[in-house]
Structure 1
Amino acid sequence: MGVVEQRFLWSSFERRCLHLLQQRNTLASIVQIHAFMLRNALETNVNLLTKFITTCASLALFASADPLAGIHHSRRVFDHRPDRDDSFLCNSMIKAHVGMRQFVESFTLYRNLRRETGFVPDGYTFIMLAKSCGLKVAIWEGREVHGHVFKIGFCSSLHVSTALVDMYARYGEMDCARMLFDEMKQRSEVSWTALICGYVRSGDMDNARFLFGQMPEKDLVVFNAMIDGYVKFGEMASAQKLFDEVPDKNVVSWTSMIYGYCHNGDAESARLLFDAMPEKNVFSWNAMIGGYCRNKQPDEALRLFQEMQSTASFEPDEVTLVSILPAIADLGALDLGGWVHRFARKRKLDRATNVCTALVDMYAKCGEITKAKRLFDEIPGKETASWNALIYGFAVNGCGKEALEIFSEMQRGRYKPNEITLLGVLSACNHSGLVEEGKKWFKAMKEFGLTPKVEHYGCMIDLLGRAGCLDEAEQLIESMPHTVNGIILSSFLFACGCSNDITRAERVLKKAVKMEPQNEGNYIMLRNLYATEERWRDVEEIKGLMRRKGVNKEAGCSVIEVGGTVREFVAGDTVCPNLEALHVTLEQLRKHMQGEITKSREVG
């Protein structure tokens, strides 16, 4: 007799209890329902008890005080039942643990049931255990599950075999996954998809492409997996071709392509796709906003964020805020940053550590280092990224000693620094001219188990160069295990200019021109150095070299936020709508400053 048929034979109490369990419950109401069951001896109804356990366990998804309170209560109820051998009941309890990512609890329960009761696992048991092992990447336990499947005789089950293929694919053990797949007498779309997704995650697009071509019937999931794989490994032409072939594209398909184009530096193509989307969700908006930030187009990110606010039917989430705050920081749009902070506080998104960290970074880069420090102190669960944001914030604001104090506090708190932490520390030393401190922490990277990257070498070379230690800086360039990049050479060239070392600057420029022939800053640096020495013939030679190389000096620009609107000013612009008023104001400022200079000279 099936479960549905049995319910027609239930008592009025049992049907009433089932009705209550089907409503939206809280932990308090579920305890009351449990009391009702005990008072009326309803726990003997296995189907009703199973429904109670699954409902109680699901409370963990939205319980505010204790996220695990629901599943802890359901497990206590399960453990107090004397006859725990019903497969439906046992599988439901195992599934509840898997749903909460409690791998140890799910596997321990299975072992205890096998050892202490007459529980006989079925195919669904092994499907849940294989899923649990795959999520946890528990290789040895997964092989134990596979052994039990073979021993009990479920190898011929399509669903169990598919679960095992997916488990091995999640481990990255593609040989085992492929062997199981090849031995399957019957395969489903899920079986094919599990193996193809495994190859995609492992970076083996050749095998993924071959299997995709062999797959008899393709669903949207496998199309999206292949698109995601092509995007991940930069094969955008293949991704676009496959995207065009997808019969019924969904938001995931479009969003993957948008992310791919943005990730590969083509924000323009990404925006065309974004505008063509028939239906958008918060993930697609986040992908495009984050893409603009990644491609150094903060003004476009800001415009899109404001468009999202005015036209979208859903609100920004944590990812949206974390994506837009770097753009706000780059533009110095402090008013908008304050609005985002208030929005996050109102929606309780400021409880998320990543949002708090992004806010700390934004305030610091906008010059509000005191506010950044205050916000940092309020973060309940600090992460290494949080410390990094504050250290770098102090660094860019010229507070080198304060940055080093925060770094010391971080070490006392036993937070493990990473490469970004040390880059912030070296930047702090660089901005404040702390040469000896910089040398100390650069050498200490090995003690932290960190290998200096080219960025760390670049920071040290800049620090030494600015301090006038040109010989030491040049020795570090020659000894570094990384290939010298244009940024390091430009930085060293600037240091040579500051020290008026023309001979060394000429030597460095030759290398810099080979690496970055279109970098106008390098030519201008040496040209200005020649001009200070009144070597006008050499100045003209540099100008001629720039003409021959087709190098043009980029116009300077500045950005300012006025009334919540970000405005950009470019040198030489003649089409600005308020040009005349701007020039009048600048002339007034010039006269005012000239008057102040005259007064100070008279006083002196």
Structure 2
Amino acid sequence: MSHNNVVTWNCMVSGYIRNGMIGEARQVFNTMPWRNVVSYTAMLTGYAKMGNLDEARKLFDEVGDKNVVCWNSMISGYLSNGRIEEGRALFDVMPAKNSVSWATMIEGYFKYGDVNEARRLFVEAPEKNLLVYNTMLAGYAELGYVEDSSELFRTMVEKDVASWTNMIRSLMRAGEVERGRQLFDEMPQKDVVAWTAMIQGYLDANQIDEAEKLFNEMAYCDIVAWNSIIGGYIRSNRFQDALDLFVKMPRKDIVSWNLILEGYVKQGDMVSAHKFFMEMPKRDKTTWNIIISGYESKEALILYVQMLQEGFKPDQGTFTVVLSICGALALEIWGRLVHTYLIKTGFEIDTMVVSALISMYSRCGLIEDATSVFDRTKVHDTVVWNAMIVSQAYHGSAAEAFSLLSLMIKAGCEPDSVTFVGLLIACAHSGLVGQGWKYFNSMQKWKLIPKPEHYAVMVDLLSRSGLVVEAYELVKQLPLNLPVYAWETLLSSCRVHENFELADIVAKKLSSLERQNVGMHVLLSNTYAARGMWKNAAHVRELLEDQKLKKELACSWIG
């Protein structure tokens, strides 16, 4: 077989792989009259990208004369799929390594947070060329090791645009905006990537005006720069500016369209969002996840089915959103169907999906099914433990929630803020005031600062127990604003326990916070009526009529 023919076959295989058509690529590969190391490397790279490492390794082992590219591809496949130990084992037995081998392995350790091993490999690398240095800089930047990256950058004899850009990115991500800008201004040559890194740094620091100014100074803006500033506008609630810029874009990609779709969803304008969604020239998995996440009704489930029908495979984000909606609407049958499908696609081991499953069954009133999912899960991280603790809490099973905390700590998982919200809810639903104070005060032991939601549950616990004065004293300690629903709980409890003096104070606070909240005005009116203050009650009712307030659905997060 001539060299030209082999190249042609290899190009066909590579073309299919680039388009995600691994099955078609394998068919061509199988019919090749003769294969070389390039053919095998292309196929094993394709399998690695699809996560099928067993098939990739099988092909790797079949190659008789492996070159360094083949070795690097297999190692990269292991690292990109989280199997770092197998990647390292292969790296250690390589007959010959090049700078790409060392850079790939260093990048893998940074990706999984093992900075010490990345450093050790860097020291061992016999040839520290620009690629290896830049890999170290990029790793430090990603993990926020700004001083380490600064020292490394200082010692580099040779620097290219990527070196400068990685150093700028490191400074900006660490919040060192002024140092980042100074370095940017010192750059001997700037490319569009450096400009975009600087713009993104300003956006991450919530300095949208500086980012906008820099964007307007760019001689040439690539599509990444356009998308960065549009995303910045959307995060800063300047959706109209984002729309205006979107219209001006000389070229749009799927990211551009998805950003605007996200903007509509973020604004709660689902009519416009759906219209925009239907007008999109192309959709990807992210598109579907965005539009599905915008709905809190069965419309989301209809879109989920359409997504499947159009050949898109759900991911972690899809499943968590869809399961959340199934739980919120208590759609047990839908939830079970989604559960069955995610098992087939291998997502039953994803801890975020497992957490969503537990919550879904719990909200459908099926605590036994929630427990079954928890028990079958081999890996329990903090997210999974929290889902089970919160589920037991809402079902009034305080003892089970407390027991789960003990098991969680014994398993080596540290509780976080969500854990304590669940524990406090368990106390509130069971009227365990002493236990509630114990958990609230123990947050300091875990170096956690109580947030407004923790104060809110404590207010609910104390108020339900008739300790409205204690609840108000606790509120006064909160440096931030207490959520409105907690003030409403306190006001309602003041009325029930006939503490009208405190009710007046709480009512004034509520009135200043939520002038347009119908539920609050009705509660305030009822409080005055219970006290026999008919004129005050009538005045509040008149305010409702004058302002033509619409009734809102009563929705308490406390439950």
TM-score strictly above 0.5: yes
Structure 1 counterpart of 2:99, from 87, 91, 98: 91
CA distance in 2, matches of 1:480, 1:128: 45
Structure 1 residue 170 displacement after superposition: 4.7
Structure 1 residue 529 displacement after superposition: 6.4
Residue 71 of structure 2 corresponds to 53
Residue 31 of structure 1 corresponds to 61
Q: Rg bigger for which structure?
A: 1
CA gap of 1:16–1:544, structure 2 versus 1, over 3 A, is closer
CA distance in 2, matches of 1:239, 1:466: 46
Structure 1 residue 361 displacement after superposition: 0.7
CA distance in 1, matches of 2:282, 2:185: 39
CA distance in 1, matches of 2:124, 2:554: 72
Equivalences for 1:489-508 in 2 at 5 Å? 489-501=487-499, 504-505=502-503, 508=506
CA distance in 2, matches of 1:451, 1:555: 32
CA distance in 1, matches of 2:530, 2:148: 73
CA distance in 1, matches of 2:170, 2:129: 18
Mapped contact 1:497–1:525 kept (Cα < 8 A): no
Equivalences for 1:57-206 in 2 at 5 Å? 57-60=75-78, 66=83, 68-78=85-95, 81=96, 89-102=97-110, 104-105=116-117, 107-114=119-126, 119=127, 121-150=128-157, 154-155=158-159, 157-206=160-209
CA distance in 1, matches of 2:146, 2:507: 55
Structure 2 counterpart of 1:240, one-letter code: L
CA distance in 2, matches of 1:204, 1:537: 50
Structure 2 counterpart of 1:210, one-letter code: K
CA distance in 1, matches of 2:148, 2:390: 43
Structure 2 counterpart of 1:336, one-letter code: W
Structure 2 counterpart of 1:371, from 352, 369, 372: 369
Equivalences for 1:256-275 in 2 at 5 Å? 256-275=259-278
Residue 393 of structure 1 corresponds to 391
Mapped contact 2:293–2:321 kept (Cα < 8 A): yes
Structure 1 residue 219 displacement after superposition: 0.9
Q: SS at the partner of 1:100?
A: helix
Structure 2 counterpart of 1:354, one-letter code: M
Question: What TM-score does the superposition give when structure 1 sets the normalisation length?
Answer: 0.75
CA gap of 1:173–1:90, structure 2 versus 1, over 3 A, is farther
Structure 1 counterpart of 2:379, one-letter code: G
Mapped contact 1:361–1:372 kept (Cα < 8 A): yes
Mapped contact 2:80–2:108 kept (Cα < 8 A): no
Query: Please, which runs of 5 or more residues in structure 2 have no aligned partner?
Result: 8-33, 45-54
Structure 1 residue 506 displacement after superposition: 5.2
Structure 1 counterpart of 2:358, one-letter code: V
Mapped contact 2:168–2:198 kept (Cα < 8 A): yes
CA distance in 1, matches of 2:307, 2:105: 38
Mapped contact 1:506–1:526 kept (Cα < 8 A): no
Q: Which has the higher contact order (CA 8 A, sep 6+)?
A: 1
Structure 1 residue 523 displacement after superposition: 4.4
Q: SS at the partner of 1:447?
A: helix
Mapped contact 1:54–1:96 kept (Cα < 8 A): yes
Mapped contact 2:100–2:131 kept (Cα < 8 A): no
Structure 2 counterpart of 1:77, one-letter code: M
CA gap of 1:272–1:147, structure 2 versus 1, over 3 A, is same
Structure 1 counterpart of 2:124, one-letter code: N
CA distance in 2, matches of 1:148, 1:556: 62
Query: Please, which runs of 5 or more residues in structure 1 have no aligned partner?
Result: 8-13, 38-47, 82-88, 558-604
Structure 1 residue 230 displacement after superposition: 2.1
Structure 1 residue 336 displacement after superposition: 0.5
Structure 2 counterpart of 1:298, one-letter code: S
CA distance in 2, matches of 1:406, 1:322: 23
Structure 2 counterpart of 1:464, from 462, 474, 496: 462
Supply the RMSD in Å over aligned alpha carbons: 3.3
Deviates more, 1:250-259 or 1:132-141: 132-141
CA distance in 1, matches of 2:526, 2:348: 49
Q: Deviations over 1:377-432 (max 9, x none)?
A: 22222122222211211222222232222223223333222222111111111112
Q: SS at the partner of 1:380?
A: coil
CA distance in 1, matches of 2:205, 2:528: 55
Matched, 1:475 2:492: no
Deviates more, 1:457-466 or 1:511-520: 511-520
Q: How many residues align?
A: 510
Question: Structure 1 vs Structure 2: percent identity of aligned residues?
Answer: 29
Mapped contact 1:462–1:488 kept (Cα < 8 A): yes
CA distance in 2, matches of 1:482, 1:159: 43
Residue 440 of structure 1 corresponds to 438
Question: What TM-score does the superposition give when structure 2 sets the normalisation length?
Answer: 0.81
Structure 1 counterpart of 2:211, from 208, 218, 221: 208
Structure 2 counterpart of 1:94, one-letter code: W
Structure 1 counterpart of 2:56, one-letter code: T
Structure 2 counterpart of 1:220, from 223, 237, 240: 223
Structure 1 residue 283 displacement after superposition: 0.5
